[in-house]
Structure 1
Amino acid sequence: MRAEVIVSAVRPDDFASYVAVRSHALQRFAYLMSGDAAESADLVQEALARAYPRWRGLVKRGTHDAYVKRSIVNGSIDRWRKLGRVVPVADVSEYDGRTAPAVDGTTDADEAWRLCAELPPVQRAAVVLRFHEDLAFAQIAEVLDCAEATARSHVHRALASLRGRLTTGVDDD
């Protein structure tokens, strides 16, 4: 709901004021989608560049913020598809597929990000929109351009996957 307060304070017909007020939040959203600061800056820039020519129509329909976020999600998914799901690892022989305990400065937030980064992009987007952006399922569906039931399903499956990964990493002493 805090995004709605900020967005409503912006003069929506003024693209420059929208960018000035929302760019930091969009950058943070893109970072949560991609996990990389440089890539997130590119995602935001590309999304805003796509929105600019359509800005007046988007504002009239009231979908300008959802359009920009959806562009960020689409850009993240496109990059993920191009690069594939391969994540380089220094030494594969040491990896046993289990979650390591939080030591050596690893925080719960680091562990949460690592687990979320393993989710498929659409599920990760749904989780970020639901729990970080605090959006309702109807708003998530608008951003992801899907039915509300599908948005609920994405969140449900992502949470089930995260729970499964957390329980497999816990020792049963």
Structure 2
Amino acid sequence: MARRDEAFTAYVAARRPQLMRAAWLLCGDPHRAEDVVQAALARLYVAWPRVQRAGSVHAYVRRAVVNAHIDETRRPWRREASAGDRLPDAPVTGPDVAELEALWVALGALPPKQRRVVVLRHYWGLSVEETAADLGVSPGTVKSQTSAALAALRDALAEPVHHETELEYR
């Protein structure tokens, strides 16, 4: 049992930051992301010996995070207030804050299924087939959801075009 706990603890210590970022991208709230990751890790701990023997720990935990997020969105009390308009509590460093805010707003505006596909495909770098397997959908669905999500992101993040026209009234 101690060896199992050591291996699990080492895995969690190495992967938790990535899991938290992915969960945050999925749900938009650092506190909900923590809940999602905790639920996924609890499931992983129960299945740890089987998952480790199968050599599919990363795939299992990705799927567990997505499923935990789906479970969270189905809870009626979660529908009362959406955290999609809030930014994380931690200060942002790196890229321009305005650009990050615009990206977050655009991601938050995506439907949940499209957001999941974008996170799995472009954050975790999964193939179409891996994403389809993780979400339990067909590869065609992944492709169409990705296409629609990227088009929506492009539209949302495009520079606004200001056309100033003068109307003449005669």
TM-score by length of 1: 0.72
1:112 Cα deviation from its structure 2 partner? 0.9
From 20, 26, 31, the counterpart of 2:19: 26
Structure 1 pair 74–154 and aligned structure 2 pair: CA distance change class (3 A):
same
1:43 and 1:75 in contact (8 A); partners too: yes
Cα separation, partners in 2 of 1:32 and 1:138, compared to 1, 3 Å: same
The structure with more radius of gyration = 2
Structure 2 counterpart of 1:143, from 109, 131, 134: 134
Paired position in structure 1 for 2:122: 131
Give secondary structure in 1 for the equivalent of 2:58: helix
Whole-angstrom distance in 2 between the partners of 1:74 and 1:164: 29
Identity across matched positions, percent: 35
Number of the residue aligned with 2:57: 64
Aligned match of 2:110: 119
Given that 2:29 and 2:83 are in contact with CA atoms closer than 8 Å, whether structure 1 keeps it comes out as no
Give the Cα separation in 1 of the matches to 2:140 and 2:56: 20
Which residue of 8, 12, 26 maps to 1:15? 8
Amino acid at match of 2:71: D
1:1-173 map, 5 Å: 14-81=7-74, 82=76, 83-84=78-79, 87=82, 106-166=97-157, 170-173=160-163
Report how many aligned residue pairs link the two structures: 146
> Runs of 5+ in structure 1 lacking a partner?
1-10, 90-104
**What do you get for the CA RMSD once the two structures are aligned?**
2.7
Deviations 1:134-165 (A, max 9, x none): 22212222322222222222211211232344
Q: Tell me what 2:91 maps to.
A: none
> Match of 1:107, SS?
helix
